[in-house]
């Protein structure tokens, strides 16, 4: 499934805003889990949902039923669920956690900040890669879950160029497929015309055909040579006779 869906204006033109679908658990509420605008990525508040609970809460919202209670999940596991979702979203657009610019953390209980920070550090390559961050205690979190985290990040230029090249390659492949399909008529391939023989082959045939007159000319030349030889015998005889006569005199 494509992770990015382009939005369309009313007139059909593509907007700069794109919705990111990375397969992470969602709430089913009237929000998009992440949105891209140009090279910027905006991530909504991510809940510590498992895939099963995400499906249950979305089904309840679709059917108008009361939302299920948030199940007990140890706080450290909740932190990893949220941070794994954020990592998946950033990587789905060719970026990484090191390219986050701002993070906002909402904790249900501020006394758990050390646990959060210990796990949070694991998702970045170095302290220099840490984004700007705000952390606060919420009066009450949705469904009484332990935390919610939103963020803003960006896509590095190299990844953007690579994504553009991949899209262009995909478009080129589709165009080639359409051209190939256009050569068929009624489901059957259109027969191609027989190709003309190479010029070199034509010249070779002409040369082989022209060889017969050349052979005939050679025979005629041989016949003339024989006649010339026949004429030469009387001349030689006359010369011999003249020499013997002069000698006698």
* The CATH classification of domain 4-155, taken from the options 3.20.20.10, 3.40.50.12780, 3.30.1330.40, 3.40.50.1240: 3.30.1330.40
Q: Which residues contact 10 (CB under 8 A, 6 or more apart)?
A: none
How far does the chain reach from its first CA to its final CA, in angstroms? 125
- Placement of tokens 């990484």 in the chain: 96
Could you tell me how many residues make up the chain?
249
Between CA 244 and CA 249 the distance in angstroms is 9
**Domain boundaries along the sequence of the chain:** 4-155
Select from 95, 79, 80, 78 the least CA-distant residue to 34. 95
pLDDT per residue, tens digit, the chain (249 aa), is 445 555 544 455 556 899 998 999 998 999 999 999 999 999 999 999 999 999 999 999 999 999 999 999 999 999 999 999 999 999 999 999 999 999 999 999 999 999 999 999 999 999 999 999 999 998 889 999 999 999 999 999 886 666 656 656 766 665 555 555 555 444 444 444 555 555 544 454 544 444 445 445 555 555 565 554 545 444 444 444 444 444 443
Angle subtended by helix axes 75-92 and 113-121, to nearest 10: 40
Select from 8, 168, 20 the least CA-distant residue to 94. 20
Give the CA-trace dihedral at 190, 193, 194, 198, to 10 degrees.
-130
Between CA 77 and CA 96 the distance in angstroms is 21
The pTM is what? Answer: 0.62
């Amino acid at each position: 499934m494509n992770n990015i869906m382009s939005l369309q204006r009313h007139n059909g033109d593509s907007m700069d805003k794109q919705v990111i679908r990375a397969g992470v658990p969602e709430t089913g509420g009237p929000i998009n889990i992440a949105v891209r605008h140009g090279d910027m990525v905006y991530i909504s508040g991510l809940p510590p949902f498992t895939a099963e609970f995400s499906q249950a809460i979305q089904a309840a919202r679709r059917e108008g039923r009361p939302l299920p209670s948030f199940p007990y999940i140890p706080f450290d596991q909740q932190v990893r669920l949220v941070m794994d979702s954020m990592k998946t979203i950033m990587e789905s657009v060719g970026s990484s956690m090191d390219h986050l610019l701002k993070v906002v953390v909402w904790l249900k209980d501020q006394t758990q900040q050390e646990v959060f920070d210990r796990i949070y550090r694991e998702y970045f390559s170095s302290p220099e890669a840490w984004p700007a961050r705000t952390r606060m205690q919420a009066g009450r979190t949705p469904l009484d879950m332990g935390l919610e985290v939103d963020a803003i990040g960006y896509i590095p230029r190299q990844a953007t160029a690579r994504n553009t090249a991949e899209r262009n390659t995909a478009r080129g492949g589709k165009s080639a497929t359409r051209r190939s399909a256009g050569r068929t008529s009624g489901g059957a391939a259109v027969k191609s015309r027989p190709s003309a023989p190479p010029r070199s082959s034509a010249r070779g045939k002409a040369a082989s055909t022209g060889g017969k007159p050349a052979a005939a000319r050679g025979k005629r030349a041989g016949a003339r040579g024989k006649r010339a030889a026949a004429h030469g015998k009387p001349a030689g005889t006359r010369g011999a006779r003249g020499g013997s006569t002069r000698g006698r005199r």
